[in-house]
A and B are shown apart, each in its own frame.
Chain A
Amino acid sequence: MKKDKLKSVVLKFSIVFFIVIALLTYFSKTINNMLLPKVKVVSVQTGVIDDTAGSNDMKTHYLLPVSSVDGAGNTGIVFVINKTENGDATVEEVSVDICNSDELYCEVTSDSLFGDSQVVYKTTKSIENGSSVYIEEETV
């Protein structure tokens, strides 16, 4: 009798355990994404704001949205997206030299920016180097 009771309890607990794990497996990605900072990213584009100004350096100049660059004076930082194999995204803090800017764009140079880099221009929570983020919108 006692044996049957133990077996019954163990069986019920096992069923509950596997159901809970199954539900968590199904929803954990959603829960994780809900708790991550949601970011909007844009692909960097090469170019200059003012053609006539001319540039003597050989560096590639990138145009980034003003909201993506955090800085004052000639230097600033941007957050570049790194995607892992399983599709998760983290951000990497990259220093940039600000060459020029207008209401929409900042013209920057950096050794850590490449033609296919994506930078964060809007985020729902504060982010720091290495933070995991959920990409809400990607603009090319």
Chain B
Amino acid sequence: MKDTVMKILKYILLIAVTVLFLFPVIYMLACSFMTGSQVSEMLNFSDGKYKELNMIPNMATLEQFYQTLFRKPEYLLKFWNSVVCTFPTVIGQVAVSSLAAFAFAKLKFPFRDKLFFIYIILLILPLQVTLVPDYMILENMNLLNNFLAVILPGTFSAFGICLLRQSIKYIPDSAIEAARVDGASYLKIFTNIILPQIKGGLITLALLCFIDNWNVVEQPLIYFDNEGMYPLSVTLTDVGSSDYGIIFACGVIFMIPALLIYLYGHRDIDSPFVGTDKG
């Protein structure tokens, strides 16, 4: 009896925490089906607080989605800005990190461990610390107001290298030595032996890198003067916007690629290390 009560209490607590975490998403979904006027009236910020937080639409409608998809091309263009900022960064980061991780894990060269230690220090530095130096470097390279200003710094991530180095370390040295004896080059070893075995790690890195860059806000705000280049993530954080209803609909559309990528790789994210192909 006592066990049953404990179990029920545990489930109630878990459900409460889940609802708490999911509330912003549920609220966004609910508001995206309201009319623009209802959202504007509801979120009328006055006297230091919003008028009300209602989740039930007076008249459920797809008006906000219609406006976003058919009448407001600027939001769709910002969606593509997000794509342009994110996908090259993910591809670049996975490529650079896997190669660097292979070198740090399996190749022997002078100061290897010291260099890796420096990488670890880079890992613990907050983003804001490197924003100004990055800005100065990008300015000298004439890359401000260019998507490369967001893509290039994102490509060289210490986190990706650390994650994949751990994955590669699980691969026995004997496999690499055997390949070397058979005359395989390091590039061949990397592509034929290392990469297939760290598939889980690569997908994990790609997922985390995607989420990180899909939600990027600070860098575009600092590196881009032209608002037309801002990704959708910046627009969604514009709490002073007059188009609250459209912001909610954009939020739903913005969420879809992240969800799709998670659904595609969520089984692999459970096991980023060697022997991941569990099926």
Contacts and interface: CB of A to CB of B under 8 A. Distances in A.
Interface of A: 1, 3, 6-7, 10-11, 13-14, 17, 21-22, 24-25, 28-29, 31-32, 35, 86
A6 B71 contact: no
30 contacts: A1-B279, A3-B267, A3-B279, A6-B263, A7-B264, A10-B260, A10-B264, A11-B264, A14-B257, A17-B256, A21-B76, A21-B79, A21-B80, A21-B253, A24-B69, A24-B70, A25-B73, A25-B80, A28-B70, A28-B71, A28-B72, A28-B73, A28-B76, A29-B73, A31-B70, A32-B70, A32-B71, A32-B72, A86-B74, A86-B228
Interface in B238-279: 253, 256-257, 260-261, 263-264, 267, 279
SS class, residues of chain B in contact with chain A: helix
B208 interface: no
Interface in B30-72: 69-72
A11 B261 CA distance: 9
Nearest to B265: A7
Interface string B109-141: 000000000000000000000000000000000
A10 B260 CA distance: 6
A8 B72 CA distance: 32
Nearest to A28: B73
A138 B77 CA distance: 28
B232 to A, nearest CB: 11
Contacts of B80: 21-22, 25
Contacts of B71: 28, 31-32, 35
Interface residues of B, number: 20
Nearest to A9: B263
Interface in B69-90: 69-74, 76-77, 79-80
B267 A32 contact: no
Q: Which 9 A-B pairs have the closest CB atoms?
A: A28-B73, A25-B76, A29-B73, A10-B264, A10-B263, A14-B260, A32-B71, A31-B70, A24-B69
B66 to A, nearest CB: 10
A28 B68 CA distance: 9
A59 B102 CA distance: 79
A75 to B, nearest CB: 31
Contacts of B73: 25, 28-29, 32
A14 B262 CA distance: 12
A6 B279 CA distance: 12
Contacts of A31: 70-71
A27 to B, nearest CB: 9
Nearest to B76: A25
Contacts of B79: 21, 25
Given A25-B77, A35-B71, 10 more contacts: A3-B279, A14-B264, A17-B257, A21-B76, A21-B253, A24-B69, A25-B73, A28-B69, A31-B71, A86-B228
Nearest to B263: A10
A28 B279 CA distance: 42
